[in-house]
């Protein structure tokens, strides 16, 4: 088995085919576990919307606020928010 260098990377040492296969299998197993966990958890639309809006804000901040606001996009976001609020109020009733 190859040894990791001080940097934690392979320092130019190539993994053996078995090591590479185990590495890929580990990533695939983690992906399957993530998918199973998301299925058990069920849909989380409020979290999805919050994360999406957070990413939009982070992008604007990272660009120094230079991203122009698209009026059509703002209107579409407001439409989505109003639909979401109506759906949420029905569920809570």
Domain ranges of the chain: 1-42, 45-93
pLDDT tens digits for range 42-71:
988 998 999 999 998 888 888 777 766 777
Angle in degrees, CA 32, 38, 40, rounded to 5: 105
Cα within 13 Å of Cα(13), Cβ side = 14
Tell me what pLDDT residue 1 has.
47
pLDDT at residue 7 above 80?
A: no
């Amino acid at each position: 088995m190859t040894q990791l260098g001080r940097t934690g990377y392979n320092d130019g040492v190539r993994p053996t085919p078995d090591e590479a296969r185990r590495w890929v299998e580990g990533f695939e197993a983690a992906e399957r576990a993530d998918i199973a966990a998301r299925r058990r958890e069920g849909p989380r639309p409020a979290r999805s919307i919050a994360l999406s809006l957070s990413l939009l804000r982070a992008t604007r901040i990272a660009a120094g606020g230079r991203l122009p606001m698209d009026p059509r996009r703002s209107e579409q976001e407001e439409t989505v928010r109003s639909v979401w609020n109506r759906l949420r109020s029905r569920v809570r009733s």
